[in-house]
Structure 1
Amino acid sequence: MAAASLPISTRRSSNATVLSPDPSSSPSTVLKAEERKQGEPSAAVDLERGSEIDKDDPFTRFSPRRKSLIVATISLSAILAPLASAAFFPSIPNIAESVRTSPEVINGTVAIFTAVLGAAPLIWAPLSGFYGRRPIYLISLPVHIAGSLGVVFSNSLGALIATRVIQAIGACAALSVGAGTIGDIYSPLERGTAMGMFYLGLVLGPALAPSIAGLFQQYTRPEWRSFQALLAAAGGLVFVLIFFFVPDTSDGPTPHELAKKATGKRFVMFWFSPFRAVALLKNPNILLISLNSSFTLLATYVLLVPLTYTMAPRYGIENVALIGTLYLPSGLGSFVGSRLGGQWADFTTAKWIKKRGYRRPEDRLRSALIGGLVLFPAAVLGAGWTMETGKGGLALPCVFLFLAGVGQMFVLASANTYCVDINPARSSETIAITICMRYFAAAGASAGILPLVRAVGVGVANTIVAALSFFGVLLLLLVIHYGEGWANRSPPPPPPPTTTGLPVLVEIERESTRLEKTGVMAGVGEHPREGKSAVEIEMERKEEGSRSAAEEGGDASRSIDPLKKVVSTKLPASL
């Protein structure tokens, strides 16, 4: 393949060739298409319609057990970011004392960390589309390890902020790249369950990290620093697991491999704008889904960030280790919600495929309604006002925290999978911009929730964010009803008939029924002819039409007879 044939601009340097992407297309899509023009077979398959599975089907390249292992490993990688984000929650007063500042300032560093978690995937996602998923995992994890070790030895506010930024940049790659990996290996009907398990790590982090960090704070001499050392060790373990157990999941050669072949270079630089993913927000479907999930994550952070200052004082809890356990109900709810939410999303998708006859990505979003419209906002309200009033004791707000964890996963699991479904060629970038908006919202919640709670109380603060999350579900309803039109998608043609083993005439009769429903044979029933089936009536109509056309000198052969097509494909050659 010549360099000039690549649909991207190239410029040579002494050490490498530098590629600049065509901003209108994904490098993965463009280069794969170019390679397949050279004769490589494509792996087109429609699992929803029961077509025969092609040997090159990308969703059957790995066994179910291997796919489960891949998801489990990248889920461990994804949990690092939220673990690091929430690690400060129970120890904010102690950290402030260690670096000689105020708790409000440390809360601000949590907001900075969260904002970087949102922004950095805009860099990692395009790189994973060009170089492949696996290299990005293996490059980003050492960055996380270095940042975590830097936090351990930070003795000033400036050093703490700088090393936390490095830690966030390294930890966040799996958030978007992991979703792309799942899109690579799972079909749309399996994707919801897999995505639910993947994002379980994402939501377990804010619940587990304070519990573990509280134990380290209370019972180890390095206090909060010891948990940061544990994060570094965890990064090293995940690096080893990915190195040995996670292959690159790209379908065919990566764009980097094709570019090396085209240019004859050992390494090809890939230049791009990190803001190119922002252009995806021009798509109203992606914009509204991103807003919906952002409001959900914002409400989650409003619930969890201030527990040290709201729930703990209300019930007289001073032990940091016990304060950390207050976050566990939310984590348990997230675990339950990830299992139920992903499976419910896949079940809902399959139900609507059966009902409609084809897969419409927006149908998956219906599975979020039970969590988004009722469960999650009600739980946020209940948690806020029980903490405000103290009614129901310690148990009742814990129940509401559990229900909030369940509800948020019903919303997030379907939203994440939908983003992959509607843009598989740029799935990592689509998830990246969605994550960016979510974590910017979470950063705002981290920075502003304590002043808001002190100004209006936890009950009013939770009422505000519950209303926001409810509004987000209204945006979801807009996508469900209008998303197909906004995406300029039209219902696909009916699937071709398949051999079922039934008698040929039965299949033809079934085909005639399908044609009547689709309007191809409209008018057959206008003049019923007793004693004749729909097929016989249509055959007579075709013969009459052919005779009329012959008499008028027309060419009746130009009209396509769908029933003749069925007969020719279904009758045995011996007949």
Structure 2
Amino acid sequence: MYMLFMGVSALIYGPLGTTYGRRYPLVVACITFTAFSAGNALAPNLAAFFVFRILTAIQGTCFLIVGATVLGDIYRPVERGTAYGWFLSGTLIGPALGPFFGGVIVTYASWRGIFWLQTALAGASGLGVFFFVPETIHKKRSDELKGLSRKEKARKIWHWVNPWHVVVHFRYPNILVVGLAASSLVWNMYSLLTPIRAVLNPRFGLESPLQSGLFYIAPGAGYLVGTFGGGRWADHVVKKYIRKRGSRVPEDRLRSCVIAMGVVIPGCMLIYGWSIQKRVGGIPLPVICMFVQGVAQLFCFPSLNTYCLDVMQKRSSEVMAGNYVIRYIFAAAGSATCLPIIERIGIGWFSTISALFLVVMAVATWMTAQYGSSWRERIDKDSSEEE
């Protein structure tokens, strides 16, 4: 439910980031996220817990979408990959290392401590946003509301924040493919992280949440190491093709992630899954696979995410929102279905399915890098003829 509502809320925050700027939605999201996190910690029953988790999910998406568009506002295209790599280090290390710290807390204290820690972190982030993040958008749509009647304001605001403005961008094949490519990575990420305790505890005879939580350090360390190289590699590829072609084409950035997505991560998943199912390699082998695939993920996400900022600069917030809608639908599906599928067909075959998904999307991403520019031009031409 948390993942699903993160995807749904992207339909809201994408248009809001364009209409009211970057700073205002971020400040509001920080305040509400902190309050709802405290609500989780104080939840008197399971129903209240679910409600507050959903509410925190809705607010949390703002940081991913609006935070990303801030980078698009202040960094040049040839620098965005590096900046985005550092931005992603926080968004990816959290899901990887969170279960480890959660395991420590529930082993020695109450589960409510997890959400008091989250409340404290959210509050500190809110102070940072309030005091140190300026408005970065060049022109807010809301500035056009001055002097209008209440009815005219309502009509314009609805037109601007209508979720359809996010969905409509999927008519561009290149944007749809990049959304599915990011979804294959997120599917892989959450279907790897979610069942760690259920899969590895029986395999290695582990008993406590703390012991299984240690395995989350491997992908988290991989994400951190990948931060130093993934974004820079994406920018390097962009600069290489600028020298080669004499101009910048947004699709060139996608070339930087094809090998990692189509070879490295699928290879790691196959070795990880079958080594566990066949009980070979001991603890070091899955740990190494999780680390390497973590590094490779950070060689993919900066490329795919920054492409969303580059391809339609004036609509970057909405394009980014659409990408998060589709990827979190897959994240929700991966989190919800991975355990039942693993119990039915085994971790080996499940990892094979994940690997095939990645390979297919790597091929589609390569095709987008080759032909995406012409796809965009054709859609724009058709749209102008209809008008």
- In which range does the TM-score fall when normalised by the shorter chain? over 0.9
Equivalent residues in 2 for 1:254-333, closer than 5 Å: 254-260=140-146, 262-263=147-148, 270-271=157-158, 272-333=161-222
Aligned partner of 1:241 among 128, 137, 150: 128
The aligned amino acid for 1:407 is: A
Match of 1:371 in 2: 260
CA contact (8 A) 1:204 1:331 kept: yes
Equivalent residues in 2 for 1:477-556, closer than 5 Å: 477-488=366-377
The aligned amino acid for 1:235 is: A
1:231 aligns with 2:111: no
Match of 2:30 in 1: 141
Shift of 1:154: 2.2
Moved beyond 6 Å, runs of 4+: none
Shift of 1:145: 1.6
Match of 2:354 in 1: 465
Q: Deviations over 1:87-139 (max 9, x none)?
A: xxxxxxxxxxxxxxxxxxxxxxxxx1011111102101211111110000111
Aligned partner of 1:474 among 353, 360, 363: 363
Distance 2:94 2:317 in 1: 21
For 1:405, what is the secondary structure of its paired residue? Answer: helix
CA contact (8 A) 1:334 1:406 kept: yes
CA contact (8 A) 2:260 2:299 kept: yes
Shift of 1:275: 3.0
Distance 2:149 2:129 in 1: 29
Shift of 1:264: 8.9
For 2:298, what is the secondary structure of its paired residue? Answer: helix
Match of 2:383 in 1: none
CA contact (8 A) 1:314 1:387 kept: yes
Distance 1:375 1:425 in 2: 34
CA contact (8 A) 1:147 1:165 kept: no
Aligned partner of 1:151 among 22, 40, 53: 40
The aligned amino acid for 1:274 is: P
Match of 2:285 in 1: 396
CA contact (8 A) 2:3 2:332 kept: yes
Q: Deviations over 1:399-442 (max 9, x none)?
A: 00001111122121100011111011111111111011111001
Distance 2:106 2:123 in 1: 22
Shift of 1:332: 0.9
Aligned partner of 2:300 among 391, 396, 411: 411
Shift of 1:389: 2.1
Larger Rg: 1
For 1:247, what is the secondary structure of its paired residue? Answer: coil
CA contact (8 A) 2:81 2:231 kept: yes
CA contact (8 A) 1:296 1:472 kept: no
Match of 1:67 in 2: none
Match of 1:122 in 2: 11
For 1:250, what is the secondary structure of its paired residue? Answer: coil
Distance 1:348 1:361 in 2: 11
The aligned amino acid for 2:125 is: V
Match of 1:352 in 2: 241
The aligned amino acid for 1:334 is: Y
Distance 2:7 2:271 in 1: 29
CA contact (8 A) 1:142 1:170 kept: no
Distance 1:161 1:243 in 2: 28
**Gaps in structure 2 of 5+ consecutive residues:** 379-387
Distance 1:281 1:243 in 2: 34
Shift of 1:487: 1.2
1:201 aligns with 2:90: yes
Shift of 1:219: 1.3
Q: Deviations over 1:371-419 (max 9, x none)?
A: 1121111111111112212211111100000011111221211000111
**Gaps in structure 1 of 5+ consecutive residues:** 1-111, 490-575
CA contact (8 A) 1:114 1:443 kept: yes
Structure with more of its chain in helix, by fraction: 2
RMSD: 1.6
Aligned partner of 1:455 among 344, 350, 356: 344
Match of 2:381 in 1: none
The aligned amino acid for 1:201 is: G
Distance 2:123 2:189 in 1: 29
> When the two structures are superposed, what TM-score results if normalisation uses the length of structure 2?
0.93
Q: Deviations over 1:153-199 (max 9, x none)?
A: 22433212111111111111111111111100011000110111111
Q: Deviations over 1:35-81 (max 9, x none)?
A: xxxxxxxxxxxxxxxxxxxxxxxxxxxxxxxxxxxxxxxxxxxxxxx
Distance 1:180 1:258 in 2: 21
CA contact (8 A) 2:15 2:162 kept: no
Q: Deviations over 1:445-478 (max 9, x none)?
A: 1110111010011111111111001111011011
Distance 1:279 1:199 in 2: 26
Shift of 1:258: 3.9
CA contact (8 A) 1:143 1:169 kept: no
Distance 2:228 2:376 in 1: 30
For 2:299, what is the secondary structure of its paired residue? Answer: helix
Match of 2:79 in 1: 190
Distance 2:329 2:228 in 1: 27
Distance 2:342 2:212 in 1: 18
